Amino acid sequence: GGFNTIVNSTTGSIFDSTGATIYGGSSQTTASLTSTGLALISNGVTGSLISQDTASMFGSSDKHERTEMVGDGLKIYQNNVQVSSFGDTIRVGRKDESHQTITSTQTQFLDGDGSTVRLQITNDGIIDLRDSGGNVKVQADTTGVKVLADNTTTFGLFNGTGITLVDNNVTGSLITATTSSMFGASNADRTEVTQEGLKVYESNHQVASFGNTIRVGRADESHQTISATTTQFLDGDGSTVRLNISN
Rg (CA), the chain: 39
Provide mean pLDDT across the span 117-129.
95
pLDDT score recorded for residue 9: 73
Which pLDDT tens digit goes with each residue over 80-99?
999 999 999 999 999 999 99
| Beta carbons of 72 and 66 less than 8 angstroms apart | no
pLDDT score recorded for residue 1: 66
Using CA atoms of 151, 202, 224, 213 in order, give the dihedral in degrees to the nearest 10: 50
Q: What percent of the chain has pLDDT over 70?
A: 100
| Beta carbons of 180 and 166 less than 8 angstroms apart | no
Mean pLDDT of the chain: 93
pLDDT at position 21 over 70: yes
pLDDT at position 6 over 80: no
Provide mean pLDDT across the span 52-73.
93
Which pLDDT tens digit goes with each residue over 174-232?
999 999 999 998 899 999 999 999 999 999 999 999 999 999 999 999 999 999 999 99
Strands 230-234 vs 241-246: parallel, antiparallel or unpaired: antiparallel
pLDDT at position 13 over 90: no
pLDDT score recorded for residue 25: 78
Q: What percent of the chain has pLDDT over 90?
A: 82
pLDDT score recorded for residue 2: 79
pLDDT at position 161 over 90: yes
